[in-house]
Chains A and B, each alone.
Chain A
Amino acid sequence: MTNEKEIQLFSEKSSRLFAEIKKDIIGQSEVVEGVVIAMIAGGNVLLEGVPGVGKTRLVRSVGRVFSLPFSRIQFTPDLMPADITGTNVIERDASGNSVLRFRRGPIFSNIILADEINRATSKTQSALLEAMQEHTVTAGGDTYRLDEPFFVLATQNPIEQDGTYPLPEAQTDRFMFKLIMGYPSDDELESIVAMTQKNAKETSAPVLDGGELLTMRKVASEIPVCSEVMKYAIRLVGATHPEREDAPSVTRSYIRFGASPRAAQALITAAKVRALLYGRFNVSTGDIDALALPVLRHRIKPSFNAVTERLDCDRLIGILISELKGEKPKQEVTPDKRKKSKKI
């Protein structure tokens, strides 16, 4: 049962978390917030951004403020699953007999930085599937439980697609959020340059340990969610399914595959954490709207029509939210308009 002390701990620790991460990362406040929410909610994060925007630095900084064991795996085309999970090696015991002993791979840590995850083959990428979902590793017929809390923070580069292996849907669905790291603004860039001229080292200090993180997760999980908000989240996820009879016209025209039930779970779980971070003790539809993009953008598959019309997932989700709220989308895209534009 949650008590006032735990709520206070949540409040204090969360504000200190952001303050410490800010020491290393300038700007990218939405991404930082997303990473923190995912870590408190117990989800994995896929960070996408062009080289040099601070993906790896952010993950390292997060690892430090949480003061948890941290492993970095640089994904390369020749990386093998056993290089991640570990493998059985033959060793001699005290009596001189040869025995098989499981040597743990880098995945046996609390925070995993899977750098450039799309550079490894699908086979190697799949080595993470079990760890990400069940927090276990199976090797040589034995199953090993990973230490809690366990997170995978993966990065990938949206450009330079030669020699890369796009993540399969099963893999992307296991990431709670996909966060896009864009270029910093001029002011932010100025601060970044000024900061790195003096000292390029990360200066963030540990804020909380694994136990405290688990407490924060427990507090967040007890946040009440009213049925109105729950239904809203479910309707939003359902609206991405083109095969449904009541699917919006945008979904039917531009989405090939919709989001899985994991998306609805992730929305509600993350919304609880966000509500607490914003000082509320209930989840609102505003939380769902704010988290819709990172939760849904990697879970929906745009159709060929969307690709040809350069409609990305973010824009489609924005239109769906507007339709659910009964608002007119800022830039309305309907099949009728599409036909008109073709005629022109």
Chain B
Amino acid sequence: MKSKNLLRHFKKKAVSDGIVRAAVTSVTVAACAVFITSLVFHILMKDPPILTLLISALALLVICLLFGIALSLRVCERQVAARIDALGLDNRIATMVEFEDDKSFLADYQRRDAVIHLRSVSPRDIKCTLKGWQIAACALSVSAAIVLCLLPYDAAFAAGTPITDREKQVQEIIDELRDEYTKDLDDSLKDLVNDIIDEAENELLQRPDSDGDSEIINSAINKIDKLLGVSGGDSAPGGDNGNEDKPPVNDNNNPGSSDNQNGGMSDDTNINGSGTGSGSASSSNGSGNTELDHSMTEPIFDPEKGTVTYGEIYVFYYADYLEALKNGNIPSDVAEDVGDYFNALAKK
């Protein structure tokens, strides 16, 4: 009898064993692929496309399974013989298969001996080649893939530090502020407004909870309103009405003059002494006159940054300048220099 027929049942067992192994391996490969792809998405801080991932994984699983089954079906007699010999047949079956066509007396004797010993084993005795670690790897990869797919991306990776609800809340408020106030502004004003918003954002982030948020936000809004109200006074409706409430500007202390820039800002102005509100500001937010704060007329020194801020002063001087320009109180040659000065300040 040909060894092919003798080993038929053993081969079936080997093939089925191979298919099981191929299935486990395919699931492991597909799960690993899902895990790696999900991981990449999490690193990129994006939600993994679960459906696409699952479909791709399924396709990969099917391909691997088909490949594994094809390999299992290609198992040859020698491989089957080696597995039967592992049951304690001392290479009898491997020799029988290899010397199948040998006509010598001893080869024939050997074949008969091998057939006798083959009867003592059953296909069920063939050891499963699927190892425990393979099953463990499969279970581990599937679990890891499922966990990573279900895990929200932003909680896992966000440049190394997880985003808290507080940061999210502040970000939403700040985004809203920016959208509302920086729209349709020219670059110089936009920068100033953004500075105010950034400052407010920093203050908000330093707070552990939302208590006192409204004060910071209102303060920022007020500052922005003042800035926008003053700078847009010439065009804002009712801006002209505020002229009388606007702090008086000393013509001699024109901030545009090159020789008394600093002195004009700090000492020679009488903004602080006027005690009147800004008409332009009231026209923009409609809240009426706004008292000019004393501190706004003085340079503000930031000990941490080591800088002096003239932002508030700039706003008021710029309003005065525009008013004076409108009224024709500034000579044209001086007006040009003063304009350049304000532009330079705005850039700062």
B105 A282 Cβ-Cβ under 8 A? no
Interface digits, A280-296 against B, CB 8 Å rule (1 contact, 0 not)? Answer: 11111110000000000
Complex: chain A residue closest to B102, CB-CB = A224
CA distance A188 to B198 in the complex (A): 98
Considering the complex, which residues of chain B in the window 97-136 have a beta carbon less than 8 Å from any beta carbon of chain A?
98-99, 102, 104-107, 109-110, 113-114
Judging by beta carbons under 8 Å apart, are B82 and A7 in contact?
Answer: no
Residues of B within 8 A of A227 (CB): 98
Q: Are A224 and B113 in contact (CB under 8 A)?
A: no
Offer 11 A-B interface pairs, CB within 8 angstroms, sorted by A. Answer: A219-B106, A222-B106, A223-B106, A224-B95, A224-B104, A226-B99, A228-B94, A282-B96, A282-B110, A284-B91, A285-B91
What residues of chain A have their CB less than 8 Å away from a CB belonging to chain B? 1-4, 7, 219, 222-229, 280-286
Q: How far apart are A227's CB and chain B's nearest CB, in angstroms? A: 6
Which residues on the A side are within 8 Å of B96 (C-beta)? 282
Would B109 and A226 count as touching, CB distance under 8 A? Answer: no
Chain B residues within 8 Å of A283, by CB = 91, 95
Residue of B nearest to A4 (CB): B105
Q: A222's contact among B91, B98, B104, by CB below 8 Å, is which?
A: B104
Q: Which 5 A-B pairs have the closest CB atoms?
A: A284-B90, A281-B110, A282-B95, A284-B91, A226-B95
Complex Cα distance, B94 from A283, in Å, reads 10
- From A280, which residue of chain B is reached at the shortest CB distance? B90
Dominant secondary structure at the B interface: helix
Nearest chain A residue, comparing its CB with the CB of B117: A280
B90 touches A2 (CB 8 A): no
What is the CB-to-nearest-CB distance from B186 to chain A, in angstroms, rounded to a whole number?
Answer: 72
User: Are A2 and B104 interface neighbours, CB within 8 A?
Assistant: yes
Contact B91 A224 (CB under 8 A): no
A282-B102 contact, Cβ under 8 Å, with A7-B109, A224-B95, A228-B82 = no
Contact in complex: B104, A282 (CB < 8 Å) = no
Q: Which residues on A sit within 8 Å (CB–CB) of B105? A: 1-4, 222
How many contacts A-B (CB < 8 Å)?
Answer: 59
B11 located at the interface, meaning its Cβ lies under 8 Å from any Cβ of chain A in the complex: no
Nearest opposing residue in chain B for A229, CB measure: B91
Docked Cα-Cα span, A221 to B25, in Å, equals 45
The CA-CA distance from A75 to B313 in the complex, in Å, is 120
Residues from chain A with Cβ under 8 Å of B106 in the complex: 2, 7, 219, 222-224, 281
Do A281 and B91 touch across chains, with their CB atoms under 8 A apart? no
Cα–Cα, bound, A222→B113 (Å): 16
Whether B21 is near chain A, meaning CB under 8 Å from some CB there, is no
How far in angstroms is the closest Cβ of chain A from B21? 18
Knowing that A224-B104, A228-B82, A280-B90 touch, tell me 7 more A-B residue pairs with CB under 8 angstroms. A223-B110, A225-B95, A228-B94, A280-B92, A281-B109, A281-B110, A282-B91
Contact B90 A286, beta carbon cutoff 8 Å: yes
Max chain B C-beta neighbours (<10 A), residue from A3, A227, A228, A283: A228
Contact A1 B92 (CB under 8 A): no
> What is the CA–CA distance of A229 and B91 in the complex, to the nearest angstrom?
8
Which chain B positions have C-beta within 8 A of A226?
91, 94-95, 98-99
Shortest Cβ distance from residue A231 to the other chain B in the assembled complex, whole angstroms: 11
A275 — nearest CB in chain B belongs to which residue?
A: B90
Within the assembled complex, what's the spacing in Å between the Cα atoms of A281 and B92?
Answer: 8
Q: Please tell me if the beta carbons of A224 and B110 are within 8 angstroms of each other in the complex.
A: yes
Q: Which residues of B contact A225 (CB under 8 A)?
A: 95
Residues of A within 8 A of B104 (CB): 1-2, 222, 224
- Report the minimal beta-carbon distance from B198 to chain A, rounded to whole angstroms: 59
With CB as the reference atom, state the residue of chain B lying closest to A223: B106
A267 CB to nearest B CB, Å: 14
Q: How far is the CB of B121 from chain A (nearest CB, A)?
A: 15
Interface residues of B in 173-231 (CB under 8 A from A): none
Residues in A with CB closer than 8 Å to B114 are 282
Q: Which of A4, A222, A282 is the one whose CB lies under 8 Å from B92?
A: A282
Contacts of A222 in B (CB 8 A): 104-106
Of the listed residues A4, A222, A280, the one surrounded by the most CB atoms of chain B closer than 10 A to its CB is A280
Which of chain B's residues has its CB closest to A288's CB?
B91
Select the residue from A1, A225, A282 with max chain B CB neighbours within 10 A: A282
